[in-house]
Chains A and B, each alone.
Chain A
């Protein structure tokens, strides 16, 4: 099983550039989310989605956009990268009911903005 797949694994951007971090899951999960991980701050929720066509903001949404056109995919867009967005980004998904209790994480994308 592929689970949650994130691409790319590493990326270096210059300030002002744009890019899209890809996330795909093959478990037919309704819930998907994006987190960023920074030293000493744990994981902070950026955006999340409870199903295709539905997205909402998390704790730190500024500078990021998302869309959910299919159940499988949940891309994260940086429109104009800033050094403060240097971080490790994780995508996660979970199912319904008791399956809500288990979030599956991708391997992460390490992003550096110069």
Chain B
């Protein structure tokens, strides 16, 4: 079945540091890929998405590129802020499906 593996945390960074969170997936066909973010005490919200190979999703300074050849969708941000402290989830949705499969989540803490 479909599955997502993402880098374990927690990750602690200083403000303005570079952030990368690795995500790889296993799926049949051509899934859509997502990064969701969960701020403390809140539900998940979509951060960015990519629906086909070589697509780059971007939002709020975060980027991720759908790499079919390496089955990866790594999340990056060049200069993090304290407000980026959150739990980040990589997820996939199979073609034609509604259901999401999530990775375990990576907790990121950014210190001033």
Is B43 located at the chain interface by the 8 A CB criterion? yes
Question: Which of A13-21, A69-77, A78-86, A97-105 has 4 or more CB atoms under 8 Å from chain B?
Answer: A97-105
Chain A residues with Cβ under 8 A from B89's Cβ?
A: 42-43
A-side interface residues toward B, CB under 8 Å?
4, 31, 33, 35, 40-45, 48, 50, 58, 90, 92, 94, 100-103, 105-108
Q: What 4 A-B pairs come out closest when comparing CB atoms?
A: A105-B43, A42-B102, A43-B102, A42-B104
The tally of residues in B whose CB lies under 8 Å from a CB in A reads 20
Given known pairs A58-B99, A90-B43, A107-B42, the reply for A41 and B104 (CB within 8 Å) is yes
Chain A residues with Cβ under 8 A from B100's Cβ?
A: 43, 45, 92, 103
Question: Which of B13-21, B44-52, B65-73, B77-85 has 4 or more CB atoms under 8 Å from chain A?
Answer: B44-52
Q: Is the interface of A mostly helix, strand, loop or mixed?
A: strand
Q: Which residue of A lies closest to B8 (CB)?
A: A40
- Cα of A42 to Cα of B104 in the assembled complex, Å: 4
Q: Are A106 and B43 in contact (CB under 8 A)?
A: yes
Q: Which residue of A lies closest to B43 (CB)?
A: A105
Is B32 located at the chain interface by the 8 A CB criterion? yes
Chain B residues with Cβ under 8 A from A107's Cβ?
A: 41-43
Chain B residues with Cβ under 8 A from A90's Cβ?
A: 43-44
- Cα of A4 to Cα of B102 in the assembled complex, Å: 20
